[in-house]
């Protein structure tokens, strides 16, 4: 797309001014016609090559305890004291930099060092030239560049490197040189997505020694680890050594995971990627082998919404029904799932949760990779709430629950900079999403619409007499954040929170959400100054298992637990509207069910007992300037709630969800900044939210066995 000089609007929103000179458009049209859209589609031979393991699996461990970069003392003063009641820490565990082949194609030159500087509050440059900076720093960050050919793209672009001499590298030559960040580089950026296929075929054909790209990846991986260690500041800012395992099913369903390591003292020499195996079970086996050698890690699946039903299907990679061995290995290695990010929210879908009025939140229900046009993604097997229900059904069959995971959010930014502010959203595609027109929220000119419609994988839609970019970008959202409750801001404490699943996710705002369950919790618990300490002492927290109450003998096992929850609004966002419990359970016939129950309403009004819903609180948004009625919501919502339908013999899970009042979605902000009318077919507003990890209620039969297995 066209990118000229960037200018700042009064609210420091970055805008890109489009140069209407049609000469570049004509040239680009000629290039597009000459290349043809089909040139970017993989052939059967290419698909077969990508499906083969190209690299032998390695378990070499690098000892970094001495002689390497260690945590720098960046603090001024004493390290903050640990808090036994635990603090909420917010971060992002899904961040791409220039070492990812797709981020490099998008124009990203930000390094892992730049990404960590951004998370700590410094400004960095967007590929289009404007500044990106957080309103307030994050608490933790993990750079997760693709393990697949990590670092190869910038090496291939450097014409002095050996790998740049191969024909497949020519399209990347000087791709991100300062004088090549404009309009005529667009087609080459799209073509550069073929790097992985072309390099894979060259390895298969014997034209490239696998050691050549592997040596580049080892170097980039070592540099990413170094950046994490340099910026780790125990007590104030935490970094995690991490990367993305990027696999897909045969029908282009996303099977992506981020692999996060507990520490950096002992790390693998090279990350396990789809070049080693497309089978996630092989990833888990690699992680298990490293764990036996003292290298602790976890894999966090993301974009299950785009998996076409494969992420949580009830068969293994070979197509056989899930057995206990599979389930135990999966939950050991995957205790968390990313429930929301830029490419959509994966909590649930209206087709799966027809009685949940908020099930359609920020859906991206298509699959597809590269620059091809996306295809629909099957909801069944693709969403987290359904997976939690399926886990109950597997347990009823005597199989360990492989889906008893907690939740986080993250961004999946490809510019190094987390993207979770609706009013200042530049999406994830670098130069390909740098302004409102390419994001699809502002109209295109006539010539632009003609040219863009013939580019590979692009789509232009006509609406209300105007032309707009179509495709997935309009479905992308300014989401999300990972959050934990931990004693202090260190790798050890935060990773321990990951492992015990005392985690929650937000769609962007820094909403704080507590969730406990226990027996005999007083109704006025949350009025006490030591409410948190009491809740920890007398109950369990989000992510934990809850057994029946057996304190005073077996007769007490029928007593219903109390759920204590409270949410605090982000002062920089909207007030809260409602606090909810989402319950899932399995009945005696083996059928699973779910329910959504409002438990606390803004303004202190009562929940309607016949509908389990809060009344409308009258919250409105002025779409001309995105102002809201701040006095209609709550700064805090809290409740001690008892399930009136509790059955002590019924397996169930419970999680908390809190919704803000409506606010403007990013596309409405874009229209205001561009001085145009909001696009009529896109949601003008949304309700930001947070989700807790579930508490799993385990009935008396097999309680100990199930708890042990999980």
Mean pLDDT on 514-521: 96
Cα–Cα distance between 328 and 18 in angstroms, integer?
54
- Among residues of the chain, what percentage have pLDDT more than 70? 87
Asked if residue 505 belongs to a domain, the reply is: no
| pLDDT number for residue 276 | 96
pLDDT of 33 strictly over 70: no
- Between residues 702 and 294, the one the model is more confident about: 294
| pLDDT number for residue 646 | 96
pLDDT band at 285 (very low <50, low <70, confident <90, very high): very high
Same domain, 124 and 258: yes
- Give the pair of three-digit tokens for residue 517: 């369950």
Same domain, 401 and 536: no
Most confident of 450-454, 470-474, 637-641: 637-641
pLDDT one-digit tens code per residue, 95-116:
999 999 999 999 999 999 999 9
Asked if residue 594 belongs to a domain, the reply is: yes
Q: What are phi and psi of 107, to 5 degrees?
A: 100, 10
Calculate the alpha carbon distances from 281 to 299, 315, 382 in Å: 11, 12, 18
pLDDT of 50 strictly over 70: no
Strand partners, 267: 62
Closest to 347 measured CA to CA, from 525, 168, 584: 584
Q: Write out the H or E segment, with its range, that includes residue 34.
A: helix 23-35
Same domain, 177 and 316: yes
Same domain, 253 and 401: yes
Lowest mean pLDDT among 25-29, 306-310, 538-542: 25-29
| pLDDT number for residue 399 | 98
pLDDT of 436 strictly over 80: yes
342: three-class secondary structure by DSSP: coil
Lowest mean pLDDT among 227-231, 391-395, 471-475: 471-475
Same domain, 315 and 241: yes
Asked if residue 471 belongs to a domain, the reply is: no
- Give the pair of three-digit tokens for residue 230: 């340099």
Calculate the alpha carbon distances from 458 to 194, 461, 662 in Å: 16, 10, 31
| pLDDT number for residue 64 | 87
Same domain, 443 and 515: no
List, in order, residues 6 or more apart from 116 with CB less than 8 Å away. 141, 143, 227, 228, 230, 231, 239
- Between residues 16 and 444, the one the model is more confident about: 444
Same domain, 201 and 81: yes
181: three-class secondary structure by DSSP: coil
Q: Write out the H or E segment, with its range, that includes residue 103.
A: helix 101-105
Compute the residue count for the chain.
710
Cα–Cα distance between 515 and 239 in angstroms, integer?
26
Q: What is the dihedral of CA 98, 408, 399, 562, to 10 degrees?
A: 170
Asked if residue 126 belongs to a domain, the reply is: yes
| pLDDT number for residue 431 | 92
- Between residues 705 and 205, the one the model is more confident about: 205
**Mean pLDDT, the chain, as a whole number?**
89
| pLDDT number for residue 79 | 87
pLDDT band at 31 (very low <50, low <70, confident <90, very high): very low
Cα–Cα distance between 320 and 707 in angstroms, integer?
25
Asked if residue 486 belongs to a domain, the reply is: no
Mean pLDDT on 690-704: 83
Burial of 478 (0-12, 13-18, 19+ CB in 10 A): buried
| pLDDT number for residue 62 | 96
| pLDDT number for residue 69 | 56
Examine the fold and report which residue of 450, 465, 485 is the final residue of a domain before the chain moves on: 450
| pLDDT number for residue 368 | 74
pLDDT one-digit tens code per residue, 166-212:
999 999 999 999 999 987 788 888 889 889 888 998 998 899 999 99
Asked if residue 81 belongs to a domain, the reply is: yes
Cα–Cα distance between 453 and 509 in angstroms, integer?
35
- Between residues 74 and 509, the one the model is more confident about: 509
- Give the pair of three-digit tokens for residue 270: 């090279």
Same domain, 433 and 551: no
pLDDT of 710 strictly over 70: no
Mean pLDDT on 633-645: 97
Cα–Cα distance between 346 and 312 in angstroms, integer?
12
Same domain, 426 and 522: no
Cα–Cα distance between 256 and 348 in angstroms, integer?
18
Same domain, 250 and 361: yes
The total of structural domains in the chain comes to 2
Mean pLDDT on 464-491: 94
Cα–Cα distance between 362 and 356 in angstroms, integer?
14
454: three-class secondary structure by DSSP: helix
Asked if residue 80 belongs to a domain, the reply is: yes
How, if at all, do strands 238-245 and 685-686 pair?
A: unpaired
Mean pLDDT on 294-307: 97
pLDDT one-digit tens code per residue, 124-163:
999 999 999 999 999 999 999 999 999 999 999 999 999 9
pLDDT band at 375 (very low <50, low <70, confident <90, very high): confident
| pLDDT number for residue 5 | 29
Same domain, 389 and 515: no
| pLDDT number for residue 197 | 86
Instruction: Determine if residue 56 is left, alpha or beta; phi over 0 gives left, psi from -120 to 50 gives alpha, anything else beta.
Output: beta
Asked if residue 674 belongs to a domain, the reply is: yes
- Among residues of the chain, what percentage have pLDDT more than 90? 78
Sign of the CA dihedral running 650, 640, 500, 308: positive
Mean pLDDT on 521-535: 95
For 520-569, the three-class secondary structure string (H helix, E strand, C coil) is CCCCCHHHCCCHHHHHHHHEEECCCEECCCCCCCHHHHHCCCEEEEEEEC
How far is C-alpha 356 from the geometric centre of its chain's CA atoms? 22
Cis check: omega of the bond before 480, within 30 degrees of 0: yes
pLDDT band at 333 (very low <50, low <70, confident <90, very high): very high
Q: What is the dihedral of CA 90, 96, 97, 98, to 10 degrees?
A: 180
Asked if residues 411 and 480 have their Cβ atoms less than 8 Å apart, the reply is yes
Closest to 361 measured CA to CA, from 677, 615, 657: 657
Asked if residues 118 and 419 have their Cβ atoms less than 8 Å apart, the reply is no
Cα–Cα distance between 175 and 104 in angstroms, integer?
9
Asked if residues 402 and 327 have their Cβ atoms less than 8 Å apart, the reply is yes
pLDDT one-digit tens code per residue, 221-239:
999 999 999 999 999 999 9
Q: Residue 263 has what DSSP assignment?
A: -
pLDDT band at 563 (very low <50, low <70, confident <90, very high): very high
pLDDT of 16 strictly over 90: no
Domain that holds residue 581: 511-709
676: three-class secondary structure by DSSP: coil
Calculate the alpha carbon distances from 596 to 135, 538, 582, 694 in Å: 33, 26, 5, 13
pLDDT of 553 strictly over 60: no
Cα–Cα distance between 331 and 230 in angstroms, integer?
32
Cα–Cα distance between 31 and 452 in angstroms, integer?
12
pLDDT band at 288 (very low <50, low <70, confident <90, very high): very high
Closest to 333 measured CA to CA, from 361, 292, 367, 375: 292
pLDDT band at 557 (very low <50, low <70, confident <90, very high): low
Asked if residues 561 and 635 have their Cβ atoms less than 8 Å apart, the reply is no
Same domain, 433 and 568: no
């Amino acid at each position: 797309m066209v990118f000229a000089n960037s200018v700042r609007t009064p609210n420091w929103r970055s805008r890109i001014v489009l140069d209407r000179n049609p000469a570049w458009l004509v040239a680009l049209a000629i290039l597009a016609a000459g290349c043809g859209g089909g040139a970017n589609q993989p052939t059967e031979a290419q698909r077969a090559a990508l499906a083969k393991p190209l690299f032998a699996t390695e378990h070499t461990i690098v000892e970094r305890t001495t002689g390497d970069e260690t945590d720098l003392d960046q603090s001024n003063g004493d390290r903050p004291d640990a808090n036994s009641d635990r603090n909420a820490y917010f971060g992002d565990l899904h961040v791409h930099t220039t070492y990812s082949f797709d981020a490099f194609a998008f124009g990203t030159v930000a390094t892992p060092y730049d990404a960590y500087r951004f998370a700590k509050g410094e400004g960095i440059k967007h590929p289009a030239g404007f500044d990106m900076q957080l309103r307030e720093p994050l608490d933790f960050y993990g750079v997760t560049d693709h393990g697949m050919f990590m670092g190869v793209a910038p090496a291939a672009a450097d014409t002095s490197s050996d790998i740049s001499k191969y024909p497949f590298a020519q399209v990347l030559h000087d791709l991100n040189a300062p004088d090549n960040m404009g309009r005529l580089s667009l087609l080459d950026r799209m073509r550069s997505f073929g790097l992985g296929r072309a390099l894979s075929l060259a390895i298969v054909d014997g034209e490239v020694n696998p050691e050549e790209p592997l040596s580049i990846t080892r170097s980039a991986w070592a540099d990413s680890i170094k950046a994490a260690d340099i910026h780790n500041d125990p007590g104030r800012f935490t970094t995690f050594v991490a990367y993305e395992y990027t696999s897909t099913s045969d029908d282009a369903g996303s099977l992506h995971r981020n692999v996060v390591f507990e520490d950096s003292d002992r790390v693998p020499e090279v990350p396990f990627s789809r070049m080693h195996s497309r089978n996630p079970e092989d990833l888990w086996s690699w992680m298990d082998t490293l764990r036996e050698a003292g290298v602790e890690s976890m894999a966090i699946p993301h974009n299950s919404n785009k998996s076409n039903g494969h992420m949580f299907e009830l068969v293994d990679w070979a197509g056989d029904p899930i057995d206990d061995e599979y389930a135990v290995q999966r939950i050991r290695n995957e205790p968390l799932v990313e429930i929301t990010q830029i490419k959509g929210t994966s909590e649930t879908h209206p087709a799966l949760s027809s009685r949940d009025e908020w099930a359609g939140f920020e859906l991206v229900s298509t699959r597809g990779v590269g620059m091809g046009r996306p295809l629909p993604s099957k909801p069944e097997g693709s969403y987290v709430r359904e997976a939690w229900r399926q886990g109950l059904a597997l347990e009823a069959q005597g199989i360990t629950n492989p889906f008893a995971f907690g939740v986080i959010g993250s961004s999946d930014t490809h510019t190094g900079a987390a993207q979770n502010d609706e009013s200042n959203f530049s999406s994830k595609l670098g130069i390909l999403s740098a302004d409102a027109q390419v994001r699809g929220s502002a109209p295109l000119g006539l010539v632009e619409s003609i040219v863009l419609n013939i580019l590979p994988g692009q789509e232009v839609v006509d609406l209300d007499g105007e032309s707009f970019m179509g495709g997935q970008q309009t479905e992308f959202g300014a989401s999300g954040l990972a959050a934990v409750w931990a004693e202090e801001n260190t790798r050890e404490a935060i990773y321990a929170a990951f492992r015990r699943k005392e985690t929650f996710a937000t769609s962007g705002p820094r909403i704080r959400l507590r969730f406990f369950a226990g027996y005999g919790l007083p109704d006025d618990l949350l009025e006490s100054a030591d409410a948190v300490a009491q809740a920890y002492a007398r109950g369990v927290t989000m992510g934990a298992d809850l057994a029946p109450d057996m304190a005073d003998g077996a007769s007490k096992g029928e007593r219903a637990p109390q759920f204590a929850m409270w949410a605090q609004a982000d002062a920089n966002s909207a007030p809260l509207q409602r606090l909810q419990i989402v319950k899932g359970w399995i009945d005696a016939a083996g059928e699973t069910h779910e329910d959504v129950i409002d438990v606390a309403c803004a303004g202190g009004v009562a929940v309607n007992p016949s509908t389990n819903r809060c009344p409308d609180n009258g919250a409105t948004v002025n779409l001309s300037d995105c102002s809201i009625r701040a006095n209609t919501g709550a700064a805090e919502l809290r409740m001690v709630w008892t399930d009136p339908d509790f059955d002590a013999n019924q397996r169930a899970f419970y999680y908390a969800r809190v919704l803000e009042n409506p606010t403007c979605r990013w596309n409405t902000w874009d229209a205001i900044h561009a001085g145009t009318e909001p696009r009529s077919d896109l949601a003008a507003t949304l309700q930001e939210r947070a989700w807790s990890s579930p508490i799993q209620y385990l009935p008396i039969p097999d309680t100990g066995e199930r708890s042990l297995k999980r």
